[in-house]
Amino acid sequence: MNRTVMCSNLGIEKCSLRSHTCGELCWSHVDEEVTLCGWVQYLRQDLFVILRDFSGLVQILIPQDESKSELKNAFLGLTVESVIMVKGRVRRRPEGQENKKMSTGEIEVCAESMEVLNTCRKLPFEIKEFVKKSEVLRMQYRYLDLRSPRMQYNLRLRSQMVMKMREFLCNLHGFVDVETPTLFKRTPGGAKEFVVPTGDPGKFYSLPQSPQQFKQLLMVAGIDRYFQLARCYRDEGSKPDRQPEFTQVDIEISFVDQAGVMSLIEGLIHYSWPEDKGQMNVPFPSMTYEEAMRDYGVDKPDTRFGMKLVDVITAFQGTQIEFIKDALLKPGGCIQAICVPEGTVRTESVDSDSNVPTVYRLLSDTAKQQLLQMAQANAGDLIFITAGPLENVRPLLGKLRLQCAELLECYGVPVRDPSVFHFLWVVDFPLFLPKEDDPEMLESAHHPFTAPVPEDAHLLYTQPHKVRGQHYDLVLNGCEIGGGSIRIHNASQQLYILDTILKEDPSLLSHLLEALDSGAPPHGGIALGESVHEVLKRQQSK
């Protein structure tokens, strides 16, 4: 065997049958002997084979000389997507035959020999057409789907971005990559978990929803800075942005405050941001939960466009419109609006005068003026008005706002720049929310380990519903891509919240309570979801 040690200064091809990759060849290789391995992309005019590997395409010149008819025939007999090894010499393409669209378009390789490494049977579809095919077919022939440039780009982008994240955390900031178990005990509360039967009848492992408890215990263990690309499981069926198994960048830090975690994450994303996605600025803007709900009607606002919610009660002061009067009289009653620029011009439903909504026609001229001014509406804009309890009005207008943006984009009105990335922190969430099925009871807005905002801590004992949590969500273009918190490190505070406020059985978490009592440092962390990559991929596909 011909053995060469791979040292760090040797290139990619030292342990390969090839001497070069297809995509790297350029004029500087002219006159070099090369050995290439790859797939037959297509044959052209019986003269050329276009050869593909992960790095790109290169044109192979089939010899036309009579003495090489055997080699020529071998080339002409190739089926598309067959795997070959070609030896040949690089030459500059004849003048006028360069292909500017091809990165190797200045050169071609004159084949001197060729070996068929594997023959490809007839494929169900052409590779380049594949991404247009149905999801089911793409999944069935996943190995063909992944040959497309887009899928190759996606997989490589993910690998590189994750690697940069690891460098930042591990090499630059002293984080320890710790793998936590996935076959473990059930976590109380949270999502439905997959179970794994053991050999012991009636005994099951659970697959974890997240390593939340493990990472807190690692902080108690003095690891100081933990991270993991953690596989998580939720038995909740697949949705486009949620699958039964997914990976999160899981981080936990000791002796840190909320600002510290947020700064670290900004540094992390800044460091790992792909170059081809353009400039990204840090720090990210930050917004309270209350501001997000007030202005956007949602806790993960897409801040790439306006159409903010506005309170238009002034225009309806003393209104005689019955259903609005009624709505305003009820507890939390309000009247709010969003203004859709060019909304009447672009949508067909409200372009005739007869369709102008009744509410507007019922207003006095002064009120009309007030409304238009408050909504900052111009001619051709569309105003949606909603009256009702605040907790209904906000989410409703929030959804309407997003739907309008989508609708306008369908009509060709640019609303959101697809090349732009708006990162946003949302902070000051309530620590508890009324239970949906029993509004007298409280449940954790996120999870029961989130610490209260220090200045609100005394309210735990008197008005727990008013306590804000030290929770922070990271939002990108309207998608929640991460969430975290400073955790409770005091055993008695944790016990009080579990037992007295949430009415949960603290014995299920006795191991955690015991750990908090054994010298737990103040700590906090975050989990960044796969959705970062999802957002990148979505942007790219537009």
* Contact set for a second copy, span 232-291 (CB under 8 A): 233, 235, 237, 244-245, 247, 253-264, 266-268, 270-271, 282-283
Find all residues with CB under 8 Å of 180, minimum gap 6, and list them: 208, 211, 214, 215, 218, 228, 230
Task: Compute the least distance from the CB of residue 480 to a second copy, in Å.
Answer: 21
* CB of 178 vs a second copy, minimal distance in Å: 6
Interface pick for a second copy out of 166, 242, 294, 538 (rule CB under 8 A)? 166
Residue 457 neighbours by CB distance under 10 Å: 14
Q: Which of 521, 534, 538, 539 binds a second copy (CB under 8 A)?
A: 521
The Cβ of residue 458 has, within 10 Å, a number of other Cβ atoms equal to 11
The residue (of 5 and 136) whose beta carbon lies closer to a second copy is 5
C-beta of 350: minimal distance to a second copy in Å? 44
Q: How far is the CB of 8 from a second copy (least distance, A)?
A: 5
For residue 1, state whether it binds a second copy (rule: CB under 8 A): yes
User: With b meaning 16 or more CB within 10 Å and e meaning fewer, what string describes 67-89?
Assistant: ebeebbebbeebeebbbbbbbbb
Tell me phi and psi for residue 358, to 5 degrees.
-60, -40
CA-CA distance, 187 to 169, in Å (whole number)?
A: 28
Please, are residues 87 and 34 in contact by the beta-carbon 8 Å criterion? yes
Element (H, E) at 84: strand 83-92
Cβ proximity to a second copy: between 203 and 465 the closer is: 203
What is the C-alpha to C-alpha distance for residues 457 and 469, in angstroms, rounded to an integer? 9
Question: Per CB under 8 A, does 456 bind a second copy?
Answer: no
Q: How far is the CB of 374 from a second copy (least distance, A)?
A: 32
CB of 305 or CB of 472, closer to a second copy: 472
**Residues of this chain, 41-100, that bind a second copy according to CB under 8 A:** 52-54, 81-83, 85
CB of 158 to a second copy, least distance (A): 8
CB of 457 to a second copy, least distance (A): 15
Per-residue x/- track, 391-410, a second copy (CB under 8 A): --------------------
Residues of span 93-132 touching a second copy by CB under 8 A: 117-118, 120-121, 123
Q: How far apart are CB 351 and a second copy at their closest, in Å?
A: 48
> x/- contact string, 2-41, with a second copy (CB under 8 A)?
xxxxxxx-x-x-xxxxx------------------x-x--
The correct pick among 76, 176, 280, 441 for binding a second copy (CB under 8 A) is 176
Contacts with 40 (C-beta within 8 Å, 6 or more apart), sequence order: 49, 50, 51, 52, 78, 79, 80, 81, 82, 83, 84, 120
Nearer residue to a second copy within complex by CB, 7 or 136: 7
Q: Which is nearer to a second copy, 10 or 191 (CB)?
A: 10
Shortest CB 138 distance to a second copy, Å: 12
The binding track of 459-498 with respect to a second copy, each residue x by CB under 8 A or -, is ------------------------------xx--------
Distance between terminal CA atoms of the chain? 50
User: Is the dihedral angle over the CA atoms 141, 147, 148, 151 positive or is it negative?
Assistant: positive
User: 244 or 332, CB closer to a second copy?
Assistant: 244
Tokens describing residue 310: 């506005």
Strand partners, 107: 92
CA 351 to chain centre: 38
Q: How far is the CB of 220 from a second copy (least distance, A)?
A: 4
- Decide: helix, strand or coil at residue 407: helix
Kindly state whether residue 370 participates in binding a second copy, applying the rule CB under 8 A. Answer: no
Inter-residue contact 484 to 465 (CB < 8 Å): no
* H or E stretch at 326: helix 322-329
* Residue 339, strand partner residues: 383
Cβ proximity of 465 and 445 under 8 Å: no
Q: Which of 178, 457, 479, 495 binds a second copy (CB under 8 A)?
A: 178
